[in-house]
Structure 1
Amino acid sequence: MGQHFIGRQAIVSKAEEIVAYELLFRSSEAPDHAEIQDDISATSNTIMNTISCFGTQAAMGRHRGFINVDADLLMSDTLEILPPERFGIELLETVAITPDVIGRCRELRAKGYLLALDDHTYDPRCRELYDGVVNVIKIDITGVDSAGMALLVEQFRPYPVKLLAEKVDSRERYLECNRLGFDLFQGYTFSQPAVMKKRRWDGSSAVIFKLMQQLTAEAELEDMEQTIKQSPPLVYKLLVLVNSISLGLRAKVVSIRHAVMMIGLHQLKRWVQLAIFATDGESCLDDPAVDLAAVRAVFMEELVKLTPLVRRNRHAADEGYMIGILSILTAVFDLPMEEIVANLHLSDEVLDALLNREGDFGVLLSLVEQIENLEFERAAERLEVLGIPLMAVLNCQKTAYSWRFGL
């Protein structure tokens, strides 16, 4: 099992306070610096890792994150999966400023995104962008003397933009840029790019493509739910996604279908498109953690149906399924469960089961773990208390294995 990486570098104000981060592509081959072969793939990986693996809170805290985009992704509707309140869009210097690009930037600005031009110098042909469309101009000050920087500041002064000095590599250069009128700063003087990593847990790319086909064909929501369930890693990433893009979330997620409805099919389609761009073709079909999660999830789902829980709570079986998947993640990520579920907006009953093995769900989860560990005497005692026949439990387990392995 590999790892996911994100690089981030602080953007600071004149008061040297962090106001945002630039989020940077990093790979397992070169975690300390960017080796980009394909701009779309690199950006898609950065976005997917931020919103579906780490989560926006873990990646950026309370600050906004700026994402580098090329012309193709800029013009793509897929980009709008990013909440404008949390993200800024940074146009790479390779983006040609055409009327279509200017129109797209106006559209994104109207939707609430902050826009930045990366590695930019004054160009009269871009005045339409400077005048109320772009928020930030990033200037690489490497090799630029005081007179050159003063000229740049003077050229941009008539426009309502903030100037960001990039690659500020000394205290002296910071003080110089500050004195000349730069508003924001980024460089080794304040922080080197920090690399965050998280253990990789990827689903089968075949499931992603199947889900894309279903979304394109406007399949029934129930069919899409069953497809998502085929990939436990996809279920977990969906739950992280809900928290990342659904600001002000109050409702507790009670099922896969509920999670999809909370973000909407259009956003789900954007997410799947990004996943396709970001995929490296690897499959986790040989990952035993995926098999364990899939079997435990269905086992829990079927067990719940044997209890009074289903009469009191119409979502009980679905919550049992989610508990089954989430319960193995401490082993997958080598993190405490408290950290894993911190921002997943799960019900109190689900949290009690995962954190303390308490409540009705917690009792069933303990039972499943005992059976998996071949602790049959303890399991039999628990079954007697629950009033569930052993044969019914074995049938539940058989259903779980049959669903996963087609037995």
Structure 2
Amino acid sequence: MDNIFLGRQPILDRQQNLVAYELLFRPGQVDSVHVADNVNASANVLVNAYGQLGIQRVLGNQRGFINVNQELLLSDAILLLPHQHVVLELLESIVITPEIVQRCLDLKQKGYHLALDDVTTIDERLESLLPIVNVVKVDVLALTDAAIEQLITRLKRWPVVLLAEKVENPVRARLCMDLGFELFQGFFFAKPEIVSGKQIEPSNLSMLQLLSLVMQDGEIEKIEQLLKHQPGLSYNLLRMVNSVAGGLPQKVGSIKQAVMVLGYQQLQRWVQLLLYAVNSSGENNTNALMQTAAIRGRLMELIAAMDRPHDKSYQDRAFMTGIMSLLDALLGMNIQEVVDKLEMPEEMTRALLKREGRLGQQLLLVEASENNDLIQVDKIIVDLGFLDTSALTHAELSALEWAGQIDQ
């Protein structure tokens, strides 16, 4: 199979609910331009990678925004993508000609949704597409506040959904809200800002204590005692155990029994993910953060399995590192504080605090993939020496599917 690259970035609505993902499929380094000669092959690779799991299993109930260059837009291969699940995101590199406008009209008539990417200004050629496209993505990072306001005033003449991309701080997020943007994408929304010195909520502290106990194989009685002080957690645990242990002759009715049925490893994973889930009532954007954490953990586990296929303990540490790498954002505290509260193996501590060691390299790889930093992805893959972009893509697709099952 040809090398391809996959990333996924959350898109949220005004209530910061997760409504779509931008899916980033690339045949190796696309900017090295052999694409004109093999665009059909590249597109088929894209669709094959997609089809291995099925788009619904990758996206859940959300739509997927997919970057499309000029060659792919004009290729028949684009029609292999299911119109009911995707939004074709027209890259700014596309030269808008009458042929391109006609192609967009044809695709819209076939049921496809279209979006314009990285818009910073409107000229006559762009205007020819505005009656056709469904979404306009405005690059707010490249514009001043006044320029954004001017641009939005003009864009409101057309019936398009306005999406603010590259939103990186709360001030810019508030401006975009006030100006009437309907969709949002960027660091601020995908990962809550870290507020230094923020006190840990009691429930979060209990979760960290519970996680610490489980990680150290603490006595079941101590784990049970801690859970008894958290009725919501106890209910969630019993419900989860009874749903996954359907083959048991009778329902699990006690915390102690639930812990024994689940086992320490699965309990640890449940607590790690639940740290994200239980905060969803207080942080609207936690849904996206939880998804990212789940994907990170599973992806790092899969990468570690390729690195050391027979070392299950190493794979578990990789999973934990991926999950833990977003706890600072969730809890509003420095990652050093998180590490200090949990007795972690030295390898994990180095990875989380300094991005050092084998796990640190793998965490850097996952973060580069999330940021669509292809140059960094390629560099780390070479440094690691056991991975290629095709294997990474397969692992990412599997991680997406796994994370998508958590809420089901």
Q: Please confirm whether the aligned pair reaches a TM-score higher than 0.5, indicating the same fold.
A: no
Q: Which has the larger radius of gyration?
A: 1
Could you state the TM-score of these two structures normalised by the residue count of structure 1?
0.44
**Bigger proportion of residues as helix:** 2
